[in-house]
Amino acid sequence: MEISPPNCGQDNVAGNLVTMKKKRQVRKNGSVHIYRPIDAEVVAKIWALLGTFQHQDWAVPLDRQLLASIVGKAETDAFYAIADSQLQNIQLRTLLREPLRSTDVTRRNAAIKWIVYDWGNIPPKADGDEDRLFKMCTELKDYGDEDVKQFVVKYKIDRIASWSKVLAFADSEKYAIFDARVAMSLNALLDEVNFKRKFFMPPSISKPLNKIFGTIREKVNADYKGKKLSYMGYREYTSLLHSAVEQGFAPNVLQAEMQLFAQGKKMGNQYARKHKMPIPYPEEEQGNLQFAS
């Protein structure tokens, strides 16, 4: 953590405020610098409780123009012609793999923008938000193992829901998207098997989900009272997915990720019910009843 030099007047005050803010954030969410992957036995236990992604629809932007400018009109039209949402989602990773490696910076950044902001529906939080993400992602270079490892160790949880999308599209055999719904599934499953450690929870656009995350943090704080608080991060996540694949629970990392995402709302409801909280996704309950009938 940077410490402002003494006798810097207003700059020093501003620096101290930033430092205090960072300290509060660390206290709230814990650190993720300690890498301790989950044992294969625990992965087996939680995967036995996880449903499929067979009834999940993956939405795609209605406007085809930006995607067409990146991969071409013919490729874009062929992609949108795929009727099966799951197959479309899988094909999308292949479609953008090459543009993310382009030496044309404008094309590469356009691919990142489409993945994160258009398809991923993550709204920019401030002016310069996109440019900062583009600059961060230059450190990934050609997505070599060592470059990715250094990137993940450096940024930890900083914009993890954004850059994990870039990694997942650049190489879906190794990397996966880590967002709020995935974190909800993972932490609800870990709660079911009484596993104390939990995954970091990125902010969600869903207020009910953020409320559940607050409850999970309170429980983790109580479990770690008097100890150094540490959440699991992206490396533990990808390790878990690879373990699931190696044990035969999923055919590949992408489909393991798809399972976790697809079950996010259901797992959020399950956790809320177990801990006597308001159900965050009542429409999901109704959907399940209609499907059952």
Question: How many Å apart are CA 262 and CA 250, to the nearest integer?
Answer: 14
Structural domain includes residue 147: yes
Which residue has better confidence, 267 or 13? Answer: 267
Q: What pLDDT sits at residue 19?
A: 43
Does the residue 15 lie in any domain?
no
Count of structural domains, the chain: 2
Q: Do 89 and 128 fall into the same domain?
A: yes
CA-based radius of gyration for the chain: 20
**240 and 187 together in one domain:** yes
Residues 223 and 198 in one domain: yes
Contact 66, 212 (CB under 8 A): no
| Statement to judge: residues 215 and 154 lie in one domain | no
Q: Does any domain span residue 14?
A: no
Final residue of a structural domain among 142, 170, 198: 170
| pLDDT per residue as tens digits for the range 125-140 | 777 899 999 999 999 9
182 and 40 assigned to the same domain: yes
pLDDT in tens, 172-215: 999 999 999 999 999 999 999 999 999 999 998 888 899 999 99
Average pLDDT over residues 17-28: 43
DSSP state of 104: -
Domain match, 85 and 164 both: yes
* Closest of 82, 92, 87 to residue 118, by C-alpha: 92
The answer to whether residue 124 sits within a structural domain is: yes
- Residue predicted with more confidence, 54 or 68: 68
pLDDT of residue 72: 97
Say if 222 falls within a structural domain: yes
> What average pLDDT does the segment 57-73 reach?
94
Within-domain flag for 116: yes
Domain membership of residue 121 (yes or no) is: yes
Task: Calculate mean pLDDT across residues 155-162.
Answer: 95
Q: Are residues 45 and 184 in the same domain?
A: yes
Asked if 231 and 31 count as a contact pair (C-beta separation under 8 A), the reply is yes
Query: How many residues would you count in the chain?
Result: 293
Neighbouring CB atoms inside 10 A of 134's CB total 16
| Domain span holding position 118 | 65-170
Residue with tokens 């193992």, as numbered in its chain: 145
Contact 172, 254 (CB under 8 A): yes
| List of long-range contacts for 109-116, beta carbons under 8 Å, 24+ apart | 109/134, 110/66, 110/69, 110/70, 111/70, 111/169, 112/137, 112/166, 113/66, 114/61, 114/66, 114/67, 114/70, 115/165, 115/166, 115/169, 116/162, 116/165, 116/166
Pair (281, 193) in one structural domain: yes
3-state SS, residue 73: helix
CA 84 remoteness from chain centre: 23
